[in-house]
Every structure is written in structure tokens, then in C-alpha cells.
Amino acid sequence: MKKIVSNLNLALVISAAVLFLSGTVLAQVGLTLPRPSQYASVTQRIGLTDITITYHRPGVKERKIWDGLVPYDRVWRAGANENTTISFTDEVTIEGQKLPADTYGLHMIPTEGSWTVIFSKNYTSWGSFSYDETEDAARVTVTPVQGEQEEWLEYTFEDVSPNSAVAQLHWDKLVVPFKIVVDVHAVVLQNIRNELRNQAGFSWQGWMQAAAYCLQNKINYDEALQWIDRSMSINKNVNNMGVKARLLLQKGDTDAAKKFMEEAVAFAKQTGQENDINAVGYMYLQSNQVKEALDIFKYNVKKYPDSWNVYDSLGEAYAANDQKNLALKNYKIAFSKAPENQKGRIEGILKDLEQN
């Protein structure tokens, strides 16, 4: 009898140990199952800068949200589950405050009026339960607005422009916006400098593209002139010569620009290539020197009378000079000679000219 009791006690001890170990293993391993507040992520690129918000989406579920589920005057995780995070690949300005490129925990303090949006250096915590104000990278004050009913909390980017966007939290009937601005030119110029130290720097095209960006955006002329000179040192052609001439013109050095344009014309006529001559014509046209552009395009028409493209370019110059009839005449010739993949475009131009 004692032996039976001892065996029974031993069996109970072993069973308890197995249950304990099983519970420990289950607690450690766990399962990946759907969460009530689902994971989401949204990214907006401004220039070359990516802005990404990652969060979890709680539902309203017929609950009172503001000053209910989400209390006023207390730090809130601005989502559900782990930290809502926001990351920037370059420095940005948010509501007037600069933030370096990094990932931040995104928290908010709701009130009946203005809200505080917090960017915390700690982005790996669970919600706002361990939030520490001393870890703030920045705080901004924003004013929520009323919106349409939104069952599931959502972040979006609205009012997107070439250098800014408004990030919005939208949940229930409230929208919380904060504006993000990027110094796009500063980011692009630094990226250009970096890329020119790599493979792009071995081609004339890379240096010309860098200078052309400055030309298009009317910035950084001195460095752009160095870049275009580097392009021409690798392979001097009418394309990079045209960029240099226009850079000089925009910088205000009209005498140097005129001299260089004349040099580009002579270079193009020397090569005798249709595309080179046409490129010089557009150099003048894009510099608002329409008379000079017309002269170049007329020269090209005489040299290449069977080409559809020379008439297309001459028509464009006449249109820019408000000579509608001559523009129509040359576009019609271009249409008659053009390949099928160009006819639709030219037909659209003809219709616009005839209607205006």
C-alpha cells in the first residue's frame, strides 16, 4: 500500500512538472494571431525624403473616444499596441521645429482645444505607458478639425506639394494635422555630390544632369558651372554646351552667355547633325530668344527637308512667337511625315492651335 501511494505521489509530481514546463514553453513561444487593432504603415516621399508612419488601428466600436477611451490631458500612444512611430530619411521641419533624420515614437496629448504632438527619441516601447518627457526630441502644438466618421484610426498625407505634406491622424470624427516641410534642394544637392563620387561621376551625362537640376531650379550657379565644365571635359557636345550657355544667362553674365551660344551654334553646324542643330535651337527657345531659335530651326529645315522633326520644332517656335498660321503650316507638314507614334501628339497640338 505504501508503495502504491509513493508511486501515485511521484506520478502527481511528474505531471505537475510537465504542466509547468508546458506552460513555460507556451508562454515563451506563443502564436502569431490576428490582433483586434491591425498593423498599418503609410509612406510619403517629398523630393528624395521618405516619411513613414507605422501604427496599429483601433476601432471606434460604438465607444466614446475623445475624453472617454482616450482621456484628455494625458499622453496617448496615438494608435494602439506598441509605439506609433514616424521616421524621416532626412532632416525635416515640423510646424516650424527642425527634426534630424531618425525614427521617433509618436505620442499626443489630446485636449478640448489645441493638441500637443510629441516626437520621442524612444520608439521601442509599448504604447505610452513608459513615456518619459526627458526623451522628447520635439513638441509641437496643433489644432484638430472636425472630419467625416472614420471607424478605424488612420494616418494619411494630404496637401502634398513639392516640398511639404500634411500628416493627419483621423479617427472617429476628428482630424489631427501636422505639417512637414523638407528642404528638398539641400537634400538633392547633397545626394548629387555623393552620387558624383560614384559611377555617375565617370560619365559626362551625370555632371550635366547635376548642372541641369540647378539650371531648372535657379539655384547653386557657381557649383553648377563647375559641374558643367567637368561634363564638357569628358565629352563636349551641344547638350552640355547649351546647359552652360543658359546657366551663364540666368546668372546674369549675358556677354559670356552670348559668346558661348555662338560657339555652340558653330559647333552644331560643324557636326552637321540634325539633332545637334535642333538642340541649339531649343537652347535659344528655352532662353526666350525666339528670333534666334527660329533662325536655327529654319536652317535645319533647309538642311533636312525630309525630316518630320525639324518641322515640328519650327512649328513650336512659331507658336511661341504668336505666329499661328506659320505654326499650323509647319505642324501639318510634320504630321504628314511623322511616324504613327507621333501623330496623336501632333494632332492634339493642331486642334489646340485651331481652337485658340
Instruction: Write phi, then psi, for 67 (nearest 5 degrees).
Output: 60, 30
* Average pLDDT over every residue of 199-213: 97
pLDDT score for 90: 98
Contact 152, 57 (CB under 8 A): yes
Whether 10 has a pLDDT exceeding 80, the answer reads no
- Express each pLDDT in 121-168 by its tens digit: 999 999 899 999 999 999 999 999 999 999 999 999 999 999 999 999
Whether 211 has a pLDDT exceeding 80, the answer reads yes
pLDDT score for 22: 44
pLDDT confidence band for 93 (50 / 70 / 90): very high
Q: Distance between CA 277 and CA 348 in Å, rounded?
A: 26
* Average pLDDT over every residue of 214-242: 96
Alpha-carbon 288 to chain mean position? 30
CATH of domain 185-355: 1.25.40.10
- The answer to whether the predicted template modeling score (pTM) of the entire model surpasses 0.85 is no
Burial track 245-268 (b if 16+ CB lie within 10 A, e otherwise) = bbbbbebeeeeebeebbeebbeeb
Instruction: Give the domain ranges of the chain.
Output: 1-33, 38-182, 185-355
* Average pLDDT over every residue of 234-251: 94
Q: How far is CA 165 from CA 79, 146, 157, 175, 349, in A?
A: 20, 19, 6, 15, 34
pLDDT score for 30: 77
How many C-beta atoms surround the C-beta of residue 305 within 10 A? Answer: 11
- Express each pLDDT in 305-345 by its tens digit: 999 999 999 999 999 999 999 999 999 999 999 999 999 99
* Average pLDDT over every residue of 269-296: 92
Placement of cell 489645441 in the chain = 114
Q: Distance between CA 194 and CA 210 in Å, rounded?
A: 11
Q: Distance between CA 274 and CA 301 in Å, rounded?
A: 9
pLDDT score for 19: 41
Q: Distance between CA 62 and CA 149 in Å, rounded?
A: 12
